[in-house]
Chain A
Amino acid sequence: MKQFIQCIAENNQHQSTHLLKMLREIQDRYHYIPKDAIEQLSELLNIPRTQIISVVEFYSFFHLSPRGKYELLISDSITDHMLGKKNLLDYLAKILSVTVGEVREDGLVSLGNASCTGMCDQGPAGLVNGYALTRLDQPACDQIAALINQQKPLVEWPSELFQVDDNIYKSGLLLNQPYVQGAALRAMIDRGIKATLAEVDGSGLRGRGGAGFKTATKWKFCSEEPQTERYVVCNADEGEPGTFKDRVLLNSYTDQVFEGMAVCAAIIGARQGFLYLRGEYLHLHDKLERILEQRRQNGLLGTNIMGVGLDFDIEICLGAGAYICGEESALIESLEGKAGIPRNRPPYPVTQGYLGKPTVVNNVETFLAATGIAVNGGDWFASIGTEKSKGTKILSISGDCARPGIYEYPFGITVQTILNDCGAVDVLGIQVGGPSGTFISNQEFERKLAFEDLATGGSFIIFNSSRDILDMVNNFTHFFAHESCGFCTPCRVGTALLKKQLAKIVDGHGSAGDVVALEELCQLVKNHSHCGLGQTAANPILTTLERYPDLYHSRLKEISFEPGFDLDGALATARRLANRDDAGAHLAQTESEHE
């Protein structure tokens, strides 16, 4: 092991910014991060061991204790649940003789849950040693179990298991745009850098991650910073459950995304860019590297790009299972080899980002749009959409519809039109913008997708009338508690409390005051949390409580107070110690239960 770690450190020039990359390699090889590896790495990188441990314990894909040689994770997104995830997980546990969350005795396989893996249009999905599995069903599970028991290396597994489809059903301005490698850079050089920024400005392009900050303004601020070492970061950490458009853009529009980054680099004066790719998209990594290499060969990356003296290169950094890293300052922390904890703002990343230097962080789709705008000019983009939301939006549509996949629409499109196109019938409601967005009921289908009405990062999950809204709310609430970084009190404790308080009501233990208490807690978490995760974590409850108060009230008991404390449950330890389980060793929660 010593030599292996030594080698990893050398390959990464002993840079602690590459800590995640090194830990990925160690986890890959040993199926955990051994203590000795931490000690050695701490010396080689000259950082305290606590820094390494805190990174290992922060990211879901790193472990301090061994996982199976085959680590199998099943996506826990609501869309996977709607496709039968629970039965599938139970089935896998049975045929593999392994308990969920644990490692089989022989160490060969471990089974667990993963937050949404971004395959909502082709679930139920999973990951095996980090590689995406799609369209899982019982026969596929049988096949996987057999392959694991035979100890077949992953490269020998049938490729159908790993097949990821684009599923593009509706293309618009961006997805239909013909592309010639280097065209955007050429257009920018011909037009001039300042004039190109003016085109981006004129296009009205706003960030596609959901927040909608004006792209040209961000680039302009960054370019005016006194520090001249600047960075471009492409945020490909799309972790919002129900979104997968970036997966498709990176797979089939890769060049355009990289070229958009290069255009941005030229405008802000950056020489280095990063693509922060979520760990769940490991399957895209080699392809992306190949395309980067090709672009270098073609003089579109590296030194003296297109012979005009531009220097710019892109490095791919893989995440390791943390939704919070989609928040730009947490992403930057992660790029620096640290736990993804959002920074205090100000300063904003445009002034102090990666390594304290001015940094632009934009979504994958934003860079794709920038390429189109550089080629065709701002009017091309601005002529479509609404007054405050120019251009188109690429949606990831999943859930109860005939054709889940990718759809591109001009901003201002009504929800009903989208439902008609994707073949959704008997719709109960839609989660727009993912769990952090809004749930809309079937009374609101004339509403429009736009920053003025329903803002969205692109997640669009459809629920038909057979679905239980509270199941969905419960899933989302657990998701946020699981993904909270734990930095601030309101989110760390609040999301855990939301989980408890919601369970109390959903499980039928709530009384009259409990819905009020739930709403109060929601407001506290929303108003006081440090970053967008906490500020939106209560949205699933708040937006459904607003629309379906009766649904919550119907679960309440007809008494004025019901303790949240489980009296009998608390005696479990005592029963175990006394080795008894007779009626006398149990206590009823209320008097009536005694009778």
Chain B
Amino acid sequence: MSKTITIDGKIIPFEDGQTIMDAAMAAGVYIPHLCHQPEFTPHGSCKLCTVNVNGRNCTACTFPAIDGQEVLNETQELIDDRKKITQMLFVEGNHFCPSCEKTGNCQLQGVAYHLNMLDNHFPLFYPDRKVDASHTEVMIDHNRCIFCTLCVRASQQKDGKDVFAISGRGIDKHLIVNAQSGLLKDTDLNVTDHACAVCPTGAILIKRTGYQVPIGQRIYDHKQIDQVSLATEQHKHGE
């Protein structure tokens, strides 16, 4: 008998060492997430993947699956809370979708569509954040960074570098790059690095590739993020 958990009553098999997210995604059950990608060490910071495990809230991407767990995923309460957490990510930065190159391909936007987010709910912070366009091929727009650390982890774990890091504390935290000047151009980042392609929002963009796919023909213009996520990540979670 293989070990199982239930998610919203559905029986899901898992193997030792898998997280709830691994088990769910491998079985075709989508749990919203932004800071998680199956190739990298789970981080557990965005809190979108919060599920209720035997009465307690846990992040599905970090919490191990244990035989017999009863997991709640799509309760109205969790959906509402995930929407508010997404709204928090919107208001703390400067996310103006209509003028962003990433629109339609942005996972933050995709999750917001999925959760039926129709407004910001919270007051906007309008933080003063910079753009680093110093690198010839890659740019950072700090206005759109959600501190998921995917670029940090991709650079360390896939590229074997240390280009990115998160610094600061609380609401003042920010992305920094590994150069004496503090500028992206002076790092050893290469445009082909995984770190350049992993950003879920429009914070890290590759120059001279903008608008090659017209708005209206982009990923989340036609598909829900749960379909896309399962299609691209499901097999990786089974590994």
The interface of chain A, by Cβ under 8 A from chain B, is 35, 39, 48-51, 53-54, 57-58, 322, 339, 344, 346, 481-490, 492-497, 500, 521, 524, 527-530, 564-565
Contacts and interface: CB of A to CB of B under 8 A. Distances in A.
Given A524-B81, A527-B81, A528-B81, A486 B170 contact: yes
A340 to B, nearest CB: 9
Contacts of B84: 524
A344 B62 contact: yes
Given A39-B180, A49-B178, A489-B85, A496 B171 contact: yes
Most buried by B among A53, A344, A484, A521: A344
Given A48-B178, A344-B42, A528-B81, 8 more contacts: A54-B166, A57-B167, A57-B169, A58-B168, A484-B171, A489-B47, A492-B173, A524-B81
B45 A487 contact: yes
A564 B122 CA distance: 9
A40 to B, nearest CB: 11
Contact of B50 (A53, A57, A528): A528
A204 to B, nearest CB: 25
Nearest to B61: A344
Nearest to B91: A493
A373 B122 CA distance: 52
Nearest to B173: A486
A134 to B, nearest CB: 27
A500 B171 CA distance: 13
Contacts, number: 111
B162 interface: yes
B40 interface: no
Nearest to B34: A489
Contact of A527 (B57, B62, B91, B178): B57
A472 B178 CA distance: 42
B176 A50 contact: yes
A50 B88 contact: no
A549 B91 CA distance: 28
B110 interface: no
B170 A490 contact: no
B177 A50 contact: yes
Interface residues of B, number: 39
Given A346-B64, A486-B147, A492-B92, A54 B167 contact: yes
A484 B170 contact: yes
B169 A490 contact: no
A492 B57 CA distance: 18
Nearest to A339: B169
29 contacts: A35-B180, A48-B162, A48-B165, A49-B180, A50-B164, A50-B178, A53-B176, A54-B166, A54-B176, A344-B42, A482-B170, A483-B170, A486-B147, A486-B168, A486-B169, A486-B171, A487-B45, A488-B44, A489-B146, A492-B173, A493-B89, A493-B91, A493-B171, A496-B92, A497-B123, A524-B81, A524-B84, A528-B85, A530-B59
A51 B62 CA distance: 23
Contacts of A528: 47, 50, 57, 81, 85
A129 B48 CA distance: 42
Given A57-B167, A487-B45, A527-B57, A50 B162 contact: yes
Contacts of A57: 167-169, 172
A565 B123 contact: yes
Nearest to B152: A50
A39 B63 CA distance: 38
Interface string B83-118: 011001101100000000000000000000000000
Top 9 closest A-B pairs, CB basis? Answer: A50-B165, A493-B88, A486-B173, A54-B167, A484-B170, A48-B162, A344-B62, A496-B171, A486-B170
B123 A50 contact: no
A498 to B, nearest CB: 11
Contacts of B170: 481-486, 492, 495-496
